[in-house]
Chains A and B, each alone.
Chain A
Amino acid sequence: MKGHAAKARQFLSDNERADWQDKALWAVRQKRDVAAGSVREWEQLREQASQIKENVLSNLDNYLLQFEQAAIQNGVQVCWAEDDRQFNETILRIIRDHQAQKIVKSKSMLTEECGLNHFLEKEGIEVVDTDLGERIIQFRNEPPSHIVLPAIHLKREEVGELFHEKLHTEKGNSDPTYLTAAARVHLREKFLEADIAITGVNFAVAESGTVVVCTNEGNADMGVHAAPVQIHCMGIEKIIPRTEDLGVFTRLLARSATGQAVTTYTSHYRKPKPGGQMYIVIVDNGRSEHLGLSAHRNSLKCIRCGACMNTCPVYRRSGGYSYGSVIPGPIGSILAPVKQMKDKQDLTFASSLCGSCSNVCPVKVDIHSQLYKWRQEISEKNLFPKAKSYSLSIVGKVLGSNGMYNFSGKAARWALKNMPRRLIYNKLNTWGWGRELPEVPEMSFKEWYKKNGNERKRQ
């Protein structure tokens, strides 16, 4: 299996597309900045959200039971699934119990994680993804490349071609308004004939048994209210204690995700519709084990806003697919090794540790320090590939010794200036691939400080 670096290199070989995606994501990051900046108490909100989530993780068992009890009282059928296999089978059982054929689904990273579509297809059941971006990639047989913007890697011409083939739109017409209108007609039909609607969950309120789903398109609601049976799938960490906590999280989520003040629809489902049936499936799939990893438990606070992806210089220039995991980007690089430490250890290096992810995270997941902690653990367990652990052991020695650090800095500055490029950009030095070297300062910060600091003292 190819690692992140190899796949990133492949992505970067199409320079124009790489640049285009970089700019598209950066634009979303800038919108996020404007939206966050317009809320004076932004930092207090983040702190509140973080504390609520920490409380939830420390009392998760009781909140889940409280939630379940409220949901049952509301006439909801609650199911529990330990892992992906059990989750998929539970959904299949509900489908069979209702003799359902046609299923629509709005965005749910959990169902991606569990491979639900694939599983149901094998059982002969068609699931239609109704979020426009998800429908596009479903037509293309691709997984999402971003958790909020699933088709961010595609250009309009590619969607135009695809819709021409699948929905018989005009050849060569790739106008987004035209294509969206075609998808609306196509999906309307799917909504109205569906037997069951499946959704993900953004927040589950323990005190009332309500599940909250946020969308811009309205696809969750079209599905849920049109189909006689609704199923909401949630990971155990989606719980929040009180109604008032929704105030905190709804203020943070859309601003962080797309720079909107709020999503177009924030829907609160508590009871089944008259004559309808409502299920909530609570899924563990490794989360309760993750909770036991004290160094990484913090990442369970994540509300899947995608802000850490949009801001990440590595994600922006390597694309969602280079990560090879359901959730890409900085948060994905923390989550993947929880279950697959050996196979996914390279993802912990898909980061410059610049810390931008941690700065934008609305619930204060300490993303970059978690990546750093993973690297340490992986190195202690000796899971590094040989080349990396050799160069890292040198780095360790150099950084550990003051004299060597000062000397090597000087030597590097000399080398950067005086050595031919081909020495730096050779095959052995993987670092040089895809990286341009910085301008070389005349002196190091330390040297500069010594000189200028002394001058200042003299003044």
Chain B
Amino acid sequence: MNGKDNKQNTEMGSRQTIIERIRQNKPETKPLPGSFTGNQEPVSKEQLSVCFRESLIKAGAEIAEPDGNEGLEPYKEKHFPEAVDLTDTAVRKKYSSEISKKELEKTGTVIIEGQFGVAENGAIWLDETNFPNRLLPFIAERLIILLNKENIVSNMHGAYRKIDLRNTGFGVFISGPSKTADIEQSLVYGAHGAKRLTIVLFD
């Protein structure tokens, strides 16, 4: 038996030891509570929208809204002409998981479609169906998330009801630009991820 196998065997022994010790030491079974039912008051679409916007602003994000007859495509072209638009199939192909990190490092603005937003905290859910490469939403200097105005849930309970984690390889809630307050508690945007986050709300 070589050294490596040996180490792996002790690890398997460890698993057994840990599980055994837990069995000996754990308390009597306490029941798992049912689903959380907090505030169940119905909330209107308008309320959700107002709350969502407030949360985003608080988290340091910007909100943009093409006016009714402008249309989303012309809006994107006008405002973010240089952006890597991941809602475009050809662009998605180019930015698949094989693309080099060097190439990715150059990405300035990235446009991604978000799945839904959460009113209480401004978080927006994205998963691998929204970006072809996991690094893209983080390495971009500026992130634009497109979100259908209809897709806003009230809180995180509603949010997790919409997510099927068992079929999600990687997924993330993003609620603002990357930030830090590690130097004397002063808030600075753009620690490691996107320096700017803009949410484009569309119908």
Q: Give me the interface of A with B, judged by CB distance under 8 Å.
A: 24, 27-28, 39-41, 44-45, 48, 51-52, 54-55, 57-61, 64-65, 68, 74, 79-82, 86, 89-90, 93, 97, 130-133, 136, 149-152, 154-156, 159, 176-177, 179-181, 183-184, 187-188, 191-192, 205, 207-208, 210, 216-219, 221-222, 224-226, 236, 241, 243-244, 246-248, 250-251, 258, 260-271, 273-275, 282, 284, 288-289, 291-292, 294, 297
Asked if B157 is an interface residue, CB under 8 A from chain A, the answer is yes
Give residues of chain B (149-171) contacting chain A, Cβ–Cβ below 8 Å.
Answer: 155-161, 163, 165-166, 168-171
When distances are taken between beta carbons in the complex, the residues of chain A under 8 Å from B173 are: 250, 262, 265-266
Q: What are some 30 contacts across the A-B interface (CB < 8 A)?
A: A39-B120, A40-B38, A55-B31, A61-B26, A79-B11, A80-B11, A86-B11, A151-B183, A154-B184, A155-B184, A180-B191, A181-B190, A184-B190, A188-B105, A207-B165, A216-B179, A217-B193, A241-B32, A244-B35, A244-B36, A247-B36, A247-B155, A251-B156, A263-B175, A264-B176, A265-B175, A288-B22, A291-B22, A291-B25, A291-B27
Q: Are A58 and B28 in contact (CB under 8 A)?
A: yes
Residues of B121-173 at the interface with A, using a CB-CB cut-off of 8 Å, are: 121-123, 133-135, 137-139, 155-161, 163, 165-166, 168-173
A51 and B35 alpha carbons, distance in the complex (Å): 12
Q: Which residues of the partner chain A approach B105 to less than 8 Å between Cβ atoms?
A: 188, 192
B18 at the interface (CB under 8 A from A): yes
B79 CB within 8 Å of chain A = no
Among residues of B, the one whose C-beta sits closest to the C-beta of A64 is B19
Indicate whether A177 sits within 8 Å of B160 (C-beta atoms), given known contacts A217-B178, A268-B168: no
Measured between alpha carbons, how far is A55 from B32 in the docked complex, in Å?
Answer: 5
* B33-A48 in contact (CB<8A): yes
B87 on interface, CB distance cutoff 8 Å: no
Are A132 and B191 in contact, with the CB atoms below 8 A?
yes
Given A180-B191, A184-B191, A261-B55, residue A54 in contact with residue B30 (CB < 8 A): yes
The verdict on B2 contacting chain A, using a C-beta distance below 8 Å, is no
User: Whole-angstrom distance from the CB of A201 to the nearest CB of chain B?
Assistant: 15
Select B122's contact among A54, A57, A216, A261, beta carbons within 8 Å.
A261
Q: Please determine whether A136 and B163 come into contact, CB atoms closer than 8 angstroms.
A: no
Q: Does B180 contact A (CB under 8 A)?
A: yes
A205 CA to B102 CA in the complex, in Å?
34
Which residues of A lie under 8 Å from residue B10 when comparing CB positions? 86
Task: Tell me the bound Cα distance from A51 to B11 in angstroms.
Answer: 32
Chain A residues, Cβ within 8 Å of B36: 44-45, 48, 244, 247-248
Given A51-B30, A222-B138; 11 other pairs, CB 8 A cutoff: A90-B11, A131-B182, A154-B184, A155-B184, A191-B192, A243-B160, A243-B163, A244-B161, A264-B177, A269-B170, A282-B18
Residue from the list A176, A222, A289 in contact with B192, Cβ < 8 A: A222
Q: A52 to B18, alpha carbons, bound, how many Å?
A: 21
Give the chain A neighbours of B137 by CB distance below 8 A.
Answer: 221
Residues of B within 8 A of A81 (CB): 11, 14
B44 on interface, CB distance cutoff 8 Å: no
**Which residues on the B side are within 8 Å of A65 (C-beta)?**
19
Q: What residues on B are CB-neighbors of A219 within 8 Å?
A: 191-192
Contact of A267 with B170 at beta-carbon distance under 8 Å, contacts A48-B36, A156-B183, A292-B24 already known = yes
Cα A221 to Cα B184 in complex, Å, equals: 24
Contact A289-B21, Cβ < 8 Å, known A150-B182, A222-B139, A266-B123: yes
Nearest 10 CB-CB pairings of A with B: A218-B193, A292-B25, A133-B182, A261-B121, A41-B38, A217-B191, A271-B169, A288-B21, A262-B121, A225-B135
The minimal Cβ–Cβ distance linking B9 to chain A, given in whole angstroms, is 12
- B89 CB–A CB distance under 8 Å: no
Q: Which residue among B10, B21, B23, B192 has the maximum number of chain A CB atoms within 10 Å of its CB? A: B192
From known contacts A55-B31, A64-B19, infer whether A270 and B169 are also in contact, taking CB-CB under 8 Å: yes
- Residues from chain B with a CB closer than 8 A to the CB of A217 are 178-180, 191-193
